[in-house]
Amino acid sequence: MPSSTRASHFSRRGILAAGGVIGIGAALTACGSDDKKKSGSAAEDSGPWSFTDDRGTKASTKATPKNIVAFTGTAAALFDYGIQVKGVFGPTKTADGKPDVQAGDMDIAKVEILGNVWGEFNVEKYAALAPDLLVTDMWQKDALWYVPDESKAKILKLAPSVALWAAEVDMAKALARRAGLATSLGADITTAKFTDAKAAFEKASARLRAAAKSKPNIKVLIGSASKDLLYASVPKMSADTLYFQNLGVNFIEPKANAQGFFEELSWENADKYKADIIMMDNRSSALQPSALTSKPTWAALPAVKAGQVIPRTTEPIYSYAKCTPILDDLAKAIENAKKVS
């Protein structure tokens, strides 16, 4: 996901080139808050709250946070656990005013949108929300996703912050950490809704493992497109594709740039890697396959000619309910794929 510039900065190019980002029960037990291990039902108003994030930073407040502001995708995950945030930043609505794919099931009319694009974060609106917690993803150590470097100091003075890995760990751990945070904020993970969603995720994981094992020669390329470049992503650098790789999916390993996340290919060289399946970035910031038909090298790719191009949810909403369909879709694609490379 990060760009090829300095590690603490993420350019427009980096946004386009996303990702190219244990036992679940045990992880959930270990990933709750420090002082409030599990509320079991609705959030409790009394007593101190704390949570140690993936920076190793302990966020603490006098009571369970109520005025939560979060990166859109993280807010959508919390929403799936029953935690409603007050404000969001990051891709939330499209140009026509509809919810962005990263907004999940949230009603975007009920949240204050502090910024909708990279580099946009309204500090004044943030302060007006009287925030008691800021939550976002982390793709590189200590770099807060969609929190602008220029205003980071001002933003972090207003409320404690929590940053959770979207890289460096696999999807199972990313899910467990967000479930742990949600639990600390009052989510009830003992309900049938949660346990059924977790069981469905485990079933989908088993399906993908079986599909990959049955067709080990099916090669998968992780891609993202811009006007001038095709980004070929390194699977181990994102939580989702690292998990898929651990389940046995045969990913193509591109020659990454110095930062390690992806290889930049001009469209003239887009045929460098021959894949049987191509997973293409589904975010609104990336060009979709329908916009690439005029590019001869794209049209000539074996996977494109065979109709074996599928969307990739490049920034998953890390709730079990949202991740299960991602696993099932990839498993189905592998199950039905023909060897064309």
Strand partners for 135:
70, 162
Question: pLDDT tens digits, residue range 130-176?
Answer: 999 999 999 999 999 999 999 999 999 999 999 999 998 999 999 99
pLDDT of residue 1: 58
Q: What is the pLDDT of residues 257-274, one digit of tens each?
A: 878 899 999 999 999 999
SS (H, E, C) 230-278: EEEECHHHCHHHHHHHHCCCEECCCCCCCCCCEEEEEHHHCCCCCCCEE
Handedness of CA 212, 218, 222, 225 (dihedral sign): negative
- Would you say the C-alpha torsion 244, 245, 249, 254 has a positive or negative sign? positive
* CB-based burial, 283-322: b 16+ in 10 Å, e otherwise: bebbbebeebeebebbeebbbbebebbbebbbbbbbbbbb
Res. 17 pLDDT band, cuts 50 70 90: very low
Please say if the pLDDT value at position 251 is more than 50.
yes
Tell me: pLDDT of 7 over 80: no
Q: What is the pLDDT of residues 200-232, one digit of tens each?
A: 999 999 999 999 999 999 999 999 999 999 999
Closest CA to 241 of 266, 210, 262, 271: 262
Transcribe 48-73 into DSSP letters. Answer: -EEEE-TTS-EEEESS---SEEEEHH
